[in-house]
Amino acid sequence: MRINVLKLLCVAPFALALSACNATGMLAANEPAHISKVQVSLAPQLTASSAHFAEKLRAQATQDAARFGRAGAAKELRIAVQRHSYKNPALSLLIGDANYAGARIAVVDVASGKVQGEAEASAFDNLAINGLIGAAMAASQDKQKVDQILAERLSRDALTKVYGSSVASAAYERPAAAPEPEKKPDVAPKAPAKQTPMAASKPNRTAVAQPVAVVR
């Protein structure tokens, strides 16, 4: 476990630098395309607690993909989360630790089903602060907020690998595009209900007593 954490801490700066320098993406520049669907899966070794993160990641990547427009051929972005872990207080105190998410991503052409490219994507949070302060932060951190931060960063790294850093930087400078409204099926308007005319009320006939002749 400690060896894995040490690897993580050593590799993190290089991973961040490589993601920033990824000028070309998996999509060809001369062939317009867009991400029409995002699929997120979890590795078998991940626990049920990672399901919350996976849902946040899918929603975030779907929202971020809209920044790049909807022109061109439809592509599916598949994100296979391989690792999802929270900063450990004990490890943070001893050797250092971080909140981390790592995934294998693939771009698939929707029409043909062919894989157009694959890459690694990752996200870090609270990496720099360790020791006593880092351990205290790890023990008290809100994991739902951590998941949101990791989802935003992993989504951006994945889409940067897909489109390239220059295209991605320009897309993230623009305001987020509004999600497509849900299409509702056309429903024919209902005909107004026929109103049954009320029966005319009969006039009340009050019997009037007729005078009776008295014979004496």
Per-residue pLDDT tens digits for 22-45 = 578 899 877 899 999 999 999 999
**Chain-wide mean pLDDT for the chain?**
81
User: What's the total number of domains in the chain?
Assistant: 1
- Is residue 207 included in any domain, yes or no? no
- Is residue 204 included in any domain, yes or no? no
Which pLDDT tens digit goes with each residue over 119-133? 999 999 977 778 888
| Residue-by-residue DSSP string for 147-165 | HHHHHHHHHHHHHHHHH-H
Q: Which DSSP helix (H) or strand (E) runs through 133?
A: helix 131-140
The CATH number given to whatever domain includes residue 69 is 3.40.50
- Is residue 9 included in any domain, yes or no? no
- Is residue 44 included in any domain, yes or no? yes
Read off the pLDDT of each residue in 109-124 and give the average, rounded to a whole number: 96
Gap between the Cα atoms of 143 and 147, Å rounded:
6
Q: Which residue has the tokens 């771009």?
A: 107
- Is residue 16 included in any domain, yes or no? no
Gap between the Cα atoms of 112 and 187, Å rounded:
34
Judged by average pLDDT, the poorest of 5-9, 57-61, 90-94, 179-183 is 5-9
Phi, psi (rounded to 5 degrees) for 96: 100, 145
Gap between the Cα atoms of 16 and 216, Å rounded:
129
- Is residue 198 included in any domain, yes or no? no
Residue 6: what pLDDT?
46
Q: Which domain holds residue 147?
A: 26-170
pLDDT at residue 145 tops 80: yes
Which one is predicted more confidently, 37 or 179?
37
- Is residue 181 included in any domain, yes or no? no
Q: How large a percentage of the chain has pLDDT more than 70? A: 71
Where does the pLDDT of residue 21 fall: very low under 50, low under 70, confident under 90, or very high at 90 and above? low
